[in-house]
Structure 1
């Protein structure tokens, strides 16, 4: 019997603004408490839970510690990622901006708006790019402390790339809205979903990231016309 059974986080368990890491903790691929996670535990969780390649998993673990300024620390807690402008950022797909309060708990209304960007019942690169643009324009209008420069732009594109490459790996980089809703709102693996059949490597993630950045630029140019 698998030991990786979904459990709802306890009252004192730590969680992050990243749905994927929260899912991994909810299934025990990471410590369920969300505390005292080493780089090797983080990398192993990404490999075992999402079939990230060894290179990608270790890069993401290292880069996460680096962005948090904790390269010399042995461990992190998931809620360390709540710190504004380090890994967490404004114009998130599923979290409110820091200016509006809770920047780390999933906002169901934002998820619903994201799902409305579906194309034939699926979320793909176009859907995520369009919703990123909607979120960014909302933040520009209503968030007087908005911070959005190249680092945040790359983070946003990278997160969308990872989402499609991990959760949409077996379905041509598309995700059915019913499955994505479960993953984002309830931080569970959807029924019928399976982790990528082939290990997700650095190359496809970078290629997808570049494609997102290109789409962002196209949307920006279109808005300026």
Structure 2
């Protein structure tokens, strides 16, 4: 959202009100939706102000950032902050992005299985793998699904996912229109993702 100007371009000194305003304006999330995750971010803040954090702080390992990311490498291998095209290529394949004649959307089942497979992959290669809780990983996938869910299509349009991950922008040009999303919607999606047998 910093790329769109919803958050400060320099990624610095972000407070709860800024997060609430940005997520509502950019994606239609209600103000209570990201209170918890903002409070988590504040615990690793490097700003010197207990009510603000910098986006860079989110790379602090095992706070919000975690092993088994869908598009970033694990902290053990060095850069856990920047997009990793190799890791994303495997996730994109599991999502069915660029697969001819496949469904145009990512369903809950597809997303849940891709997430679990990425965690399994990371465990195999990272001798220091540590996912303190599956909840963060499931929650991340659930926020993504909730934000871009197309009810009529029964999933998230694959092109939305491609743009979000590969170009690091919200897919407005591809047709995304913000909805009205609440914390209850995210919690319901967490239940759906967690219920998929992987």
Which range, TM-score by smaller chain? 0.7 to 0.9
Whole-Å separation in 1 of the counterparts to 2:177 and 2:31: 15
Whole-Å separation in 2 of the counterparts to 1:173 and 1:61: 29
What is the RMSD computed on CA atoms of the aligned residues?
2.2
**Aligned residue-pair number:** 190
186, 199, 216: which one pairs with 2:167?
186
CA change 1:112–1:176 in 2 (3 A) is farther
SS at match of 1:94: coil
Q: What TM-score do you get using the length of structure 2 for normalisation?
A: 0.86
132, 141, 147: which one pairs with 2:124?
141
CA change 1:172–1:69 in 2 (3 A) is farther
Q: Superposition pairs for residues 1-225 of structure 1, below 5 Å? A: 24-66=1-43, 68=44, 73-117=50-94, 118=96, 120-149=103-132, 151=133, 153-169=134-150, 172=153, 174-190=155-171, 191-197=173-179, 199-215=180-196, 218-219=197-198
Higher helix fraction (1 or 2) = 1
Whole-Å separation in 1 of the counterparts to 2:84 and 2:188: 29
**CA deviations over 1:136-189 (Å, ceiling 9, x no partner):** 11122111101123x2x0001111111011122565552222231111111112
Structure 1: tracts of 5 or more residues without a match: 1-23, 220-225
Structure 1 runs of 4+ with >4 Å offset: 169-173
**Alpha-carbon contact 1:129-1:212 (below 8 Å) kept:** yes
Structure 2: tracts of 5 or more residues without a match: 97-101
Name the stretch that deviates more: 140-149 or 83-92: 140-149
